[in-house]
Chains A and B, each alone.
Chain A
Amino acid sequence: MSNVFPKNTRLLATKALVGVILLTTLAVGATWYYGTPKYYRVGYAPQQPVVFSHKIHVSQVGLDCLHCHSSVKESPHSNIPTVQVCWNCHGADKGNIKADSGQLEVLKETYSTGRPIPWVQVHKVPDYAYFNHSAHVNRGVSCLSCHGQVNEMDVVRHEQPLSMSWCLDCHRNPESNLRPNSQVTNLTWDATKDPTLAGKTQEEYGKLLKAHSGINAPVTCTGCHR
């Protein structure tokens, strides 16, 4: 009986197998890397309708986060300030700071028409996840833990993946993100330089705080999903 298949087909099965394994690995690896928020969310820094620099307002002017994001201690949401708040300093009839800056045009228009400024949302969790700001900032979790060094950002950037596994990392070991409530909005806080902590590292102090405040971060579904 003659050979139906030529000789070189002997290796075909092996080649195919290797190929399939490689492709599968590649697909899984690519999804793993590119398909998670760690890749596609971190670094997101969209252009905002108003060129608002957190760096200037926090690091130079010295505003506290709560000055504008005032509801963060009592509400699930951290509010975006109303135009009223901007106007208190920049308004012609108020502080009149930088009154001639062209960058305030949008603000002025908003103030006169009442049409809101369409800020682009940077940080977002899925609709079925109910993140609560007040539950965190009242218990010693700093803005920094999720939003990064906003005090140094000219344009707000997505700093952390905000994925579920990332949330759970902290919910399982909250001590690495705990600090005194008084320092929650202090984005330059350094535990080792805080005289009240007597040279403890943040981690050491976090452990004490965890026990002291009875931190019981939920790790089951109902904590965040309803």
Chain B
Amino acid sequence: MKNWPGKPDGLPMPEPTLRRKALWRSMDDLAQSPEFMQWASAEFPALASELDDSYKSDGPSRRRFLQLMGASMALAGLSMGAGCRRTETRLLPAKFKTAEQVPGRAMYFASSFVLAGKVTGILAETNEGRPTKIEGNPAHPASMGATDVYAQASLLDLYDPDRSRFVLNQGQLATKIALLGMLDQLSAELKKSGGKGLAILSADYASPAIDMLREHLAKVLPQARFAIFEPSWFGQTPPASRHYDLSQYKTILSLDCDFLGHDDEGIFYKRAFGRGRAVENNKGKMNRLYAVEPGFSLTGTVADHRLRLPASKMVEFAGKLLGELQGKASGDAWISELASDLKAGGVVLAGARHPQAAPIVAQINKILGAKPVGRQNGSSDAPQALALGELLGQPASVVVLLGGNPVYDAPADLKVANWLKQAGNVIQLSSHVNETTEFCRWHFPAAHALESWGDARAFDGTLSPMQPMIDPLFGGLTALEVLARIGSYDTKDGYEIVRRSFKRLAGAADSDQAFRKYLHEGVFQPAGDAGGKADPNGSAAPSAPNAEPTKKVSDDRPLGKTNLELAFGLDPSVYDGRFANNGWLQELPDPISKLTWDNAAVLSPKTARELGVQSGDILSVAAEGASAEIVAFILPGVVDYSIQLAIGYGRSKAGAIGDGVGTNVNPLRTSKTLGHVVGATITKTGRKGKLATTRDHWTIADHHVIDEQLKERGIVRQGTLEEFEKQPDFVAHQGVHSPDIGNIHPNPLDEYKKDDRFHQWGMTIDLNACLGCNACTIACQSENNIPIVGKDEVINGREMHWLRMDRYFEGADPEGEVTAVTQPMMCQHCENAPCEPVCPVNATVHDEEGLNAMVYNRCIGTRYCANNCPYKVRRFNFFDYNKGTIRESGKITRDESTAPDPLHGLSTPQSFQPPLQELLKMAMNPDVTVRMRGVMEKCTYCVQRIQRAKIDQNIKAGQSIPEKVPDGTIQTACQQVCPTQAIVFGNLKDEQSRVSQMKTSPRSYDVLSNLNTRPRTSYLARIRNVNPKMPGGEMIETKSEAHTRLSLPILGEVRI
């Protein structure tokens, strides 16, 4: 057996035998393979091996090391003598300021974030005029104060150094004046011809102002043709817009609809689902979620019952379910039990990937009596736009592209590039120079949403403004301004257009005051809703189901080794590829596979075994006459013979971050097979690719626990609803128990707890509400200036996320049915923190209010603390990740000398150093230190927000005794962003505070409490609402030996 670093001599090492384990992170974990054990035993396994290498190879020897040290000391001495005084710094006050501007205090502006037609109301935090953080707008129905990963990360896009900066005319630099002159001339010509030959292809902006301009355009240029296309539609027309208030339904079926992930109006669904999921004060009403899906989505991890089904069988399944509800027995026990459960007040959500299932599901919901909410027309009242295929059906002489990247993401068979080549004059408005740009005569930079005037309309008709926080950094234009110019609208000013759009929708309610209120609050509810509320009976057919002829959806040939299915999906990180150059998102681990910086051919263990494929093999995937090379990744819980492929990767012109990351699978998709295709084959190329997955990183290992009884440490605790109602304190019987030995020495914190002057901070995380959506991870990254490290460093286990989302699988057989559970893990702020006594320089200590503080300026980087942290939540800056070297051209330096392997070495340069150009510095939170190389860091409970709230109380008090910070004033970044409000933070000394209330729940437990760490963060156990009558109980019932021996009631009653 391989001898891994960090192994103390003489200790017996566990043999890598397959033993069953209750919760496991990967198949390596389940099998306790040497690779996994290495991750479990050493904090930074890759580092140790590096040191090993240095001894045997020609790396730095000890002698050389001392020489270098000596030299650098001498240099340090020189520089000390040279400049003892600090360098002179300048302070530049503004020329003017308004009364509201207070330097040093953040301002918040209501705006909107639009992602492929889905609108989230946001509040943008600006510090001295630069946006630094995105929060949800509590007044907006699709935000309710929360946001998602994309809205959070869109901030980084604003400061993307690779954003398009210049007007290009046939690839040459041109001036903005030339561009505007060209547009004016063009619009004059078009006006004469009535818009003949003009084709406009737009992204979905869900903007009433654009709708208004389109109506104007239809009048002025009647022959112009307008189409909208979004890859996330999985078709050429938008999916039927039907929304259900999930808190009203007891049973919910997701038909491959990842509504808890990135499908549909995420936060609206997540919040309502969370409400219906609550167990306390909701007796007998907790909802039950069924998920039917080919891959493993977040919705699948939360589901009480999950059925793996190939994407190609989804329509058939919907038909059977409809039949069952109409009284025709399907002969399938799962479906008939599901049908009878749905009848008790259920709703079915269909995924966008299955447009053919939408009419069937609409019928099912009608039978079930589920009533949609929101507007039937969705956000748009504009004249119907053409489908992409219809637009491409006729040649055009002038093409205007408003956003989007059709050459990259349109269906392969539509041959967008050819059509653009035929059109003489192609004008592109785009945030980046992308794959489409080379087919365009004109390209000009688009303003970011935080730089533009605009408006947006949510699914329920709520109007929200889009306001500029900052002048366009690169002088970009907006789609509004371009349309106004093309259509010779009488004003080209974004503000004026938005003002008119408001007037148009507000009708009688319009006034300057109302408009100002609308800008201030960020929402406006137009009266006399022009689009009409959704049909209350839900009887109308879903608007515009995809009309294009459908391929026979259920191939009769059964899926197998030689007849594979490819199921395409949006990527949880880069979406449809638009975020490919966003470092935060690229490095964000996929919620299930934990892949970063890559997409992969995700296949089930059984499929992999039969095909002889291993994770890391480069496969050639062929379907419909096209093929792509992509790395294989084996994931339990994926349906057999179906390969899950995420779109959005393999960008060739995304920028320094996104270029060449992953594989572009779009060539495999034709307009008829956008969601899935059957009849695919794979061949092994014999080459290997590198994948950066964090699934085994920071594992809370239990390999050193010898006693079999102790194997289940109760890190994630869960039970069934039935069990919880019978025995509410069931969690207390899970995990390892040790007698309360107290402390040998008095803990100074105990004294402070009695002192009235101090708060005592604490946090709870409700695993029953947590969906694992990663929003907290990105919010934390944005709030706390956390750097990205690049693919190679992720492979070394050096990712910096303070808050990681752990995902554990359950199930004895990875080839069989498995379920999964997610758990956010960050610094637990232990009262008896194991990290503190081992620090030689007191760089990590407690404050009076129970925070485990990390003092960067004391830290000397011994990393003892990380070694001693049982939760593995400390992160070390191995490099100056925040200081990039920048080539003169403004591009990030990449190490060109490394020979990349043709497919995956390209993804990030060998020594990837994310740039911190002036531009990226602007994204930094000024209230948080930017850490340098060699210091440890970790979750601080957002101490900057705590201090701000406390100081505000002091200011308010003046020279009297300040009151305690009221409950709810401080929201940590992760708490604020959480769509289901799973995270609660507050003062533990206040018995009425929400966090104190949560801690009294019988479901409350501490992770690794047996170590007497006394963590301040506690968790609430997860409850599954299992249907006892459902067949396939073996999926739910655990057969794990470890469970039975410990009589751990994980998932269903354990029947020994």
Listed in ascending order, the chain A residues whose CB lies under 8 Å from chain B are: 34-35, 40-41, 44, 46, 71, 73-77, 79-84, 110-111, 114, 116-121, 124, 126-128, 130, 132, 134-135, 138-140, 180-181, 209, 212-214, 216, 218, 220-223, 225-226
Contacts and interface: CB of A to CB of B under 8 A. Distances in A.
Nearest to B846: A220
B2 to A, nearest CB: 42
A188 B4 CA distance: 70
Contacts of A111: 95
Interface stretch (B316-324, B595-603, B904-912, B949-957): B949-957
Please name the 9 residue pairs, one residue from A and one from B, whose CB atoms are nearest each other, closest first. A214-B961, A77-B104, A75-B104, A220-B847, A116-B92, A80-B93, A118-B90, A222-B847, A213-B959
A138 B93 contact: no
Interface of B: 84-86, 88-97, 102-105, 757-758, 845-849, 851, 853, 855-857, 927-930, 940, 943-944, 946-947, 951, 954-955, 957-962
Contact of B853 (A114, A116, A225): A225
B959 A223 contact: no
Contact of B929 (A114, A127, A134): A127
Contacts of B845: 220-221
B959 A84 contact: no
Contacts of B847: 218, 220-223
Nearest to B93: A80
Contacts, number: 143
B104 A71 contact: yes
A119 B90 CA distance: 5
A118, A135, A212, A214 interface centre (most CB from chain B within 10 Å): A214
A124 B846 CA distance: 27
A124 B93 contact: no
Contacts of B95: 82-84, 110-111, 114, 116
Contacts of B103: 71, 75, 77, 79
A46 B87 CA distance: 12
Given A221-B855, A222-B853, A216 B89 contact: no
Given A40-B84, A71-B102, 17 more contacts: A75-B104, A75-B105, A79-B102, A80-B91, A82-B95, A83-B93, A117-B93, A119-B93, A130-B927, A132-B947, A135-B951, A140-B959, A181-B958, A213-B961, A214-B957, A223-B947, A226-B929
Given A212-B959, A214-B962, A220-B848, A226 B954 contact: no
Contacts of A130: 927, 944, 947
A75 B84 CA distance: 31
Given A80-B93, A83-B93, A214-B757, A74 B86 contact: no
Given A44-B85, A80-B91, A214-B757, A73 B940 contact: no
A214 B959 CA distance: 8
Contacts of B961: 212-214
Contact of A74 (B85, B955, B959): B955
A46 B103 CA distance: 24
Contacts of A124: 86, 89
Nearest to A140: B959
Nearest to A35: B84
Contact of B104 (A34, A76, A212): A76
A75 B89 CA distance: 21
A124 B91 CA distance: 11
B959 A121 contact: no
A75 B101 CA distance: 10
Nearest to B752: A220
B500 to A, nearest CB: 31
A130 to B, nearest CB: 7
Contacts of B94: 82, 116
14 contacts: A71-B102, A80-B91, A82-B96, A114-B95, A128-B857, A138-B955, A139-B957, A139-B958, A180-B959, A213-B957, A214-B960, A220-B846, A220-B847, A226-B944
A132 B951 contact: yes
A152 to B, nearest CB: 22
B851 A73 contact: no
Contacts of B102: 71, 74-75, 79
A100 B284 CA distance: 83
A226 B93 contact: no
B88 A46 contact: yes
A126 B90 contact: no
B494 to A, nearest CB: 23
B835 to A, nearest CB: 14
B85 A128 contact: no
A135 B849 CA distance: 18
A75 B926 CA distance: 13
A130 B105 CA distance: 13
A140 B95 CA distance: 31
A135 B959 contact: no
Nearest to A225: B855
B792 to A, nearest CB: 29
Contacts of A126: 857
Contacts of B957: 139, 213-214
Contacts of B962: 214
Contacts of A226: 927-929, 940, 943-944, 947
A40 B959 contact: no
A135 B927 contact: no
Contacts of B857: 126, 128, 225
Contacts of A41: 86
B955 A121 contact: no
A225 B929 contact: yes
B959 A139 contact: yes
A73 B955 contact: yes
B929 A213 contact: no
Given A75-B104, A116-B93, A139 B954 contact: yes
Contact of A119 (B91, B947, B955): B91
Contacts of A225: 853, 855-857, 929
A127 B234 CA distance: 49
Contacts of A110: 95
Contacts of A74: 102, 105, 955
A204 to B, nearest CB: 16
B93 A134 contact: no
Contacts of B86: 41, 124
Contacts of B89: 120-121, 124
B757 A216 contact: yes
Nearest to A112: B95
A177 to B, nearest CB: 14
A217 to B, nearest CB: 10
Given A214-B962, A220-B848, A222-B947, A79 B93 contact: yes
A200 B96 CA distance: 44
A128 B929 contact: yes
A166 to B, nearest CB: 16
Nearest to B757: A216
A164 B743 CA distance: 33
A210 to B, nearest CB: 10
A46 B88 CA distance: 9
Contacts of A140: 959
A209 B332 CA distance: 79
B203 to A, nearest CB: 36
Contact of A82 (B85, B93, B959): B93
Contacts of A209: 959
B943 A222 contact: yes
Nearest to A132: B951
A135 B955 contact: yes
A82 B84 contact: no
Contact of B856 (A114, A128, A135): A128
A149 B861 CA distance: 42
A158 to B, nearest CB: 11
Contacts of A117: 92-93
B852 to A, nearest CB: 10
Given A71-B103, A127-B929, A181 B93 contact: no
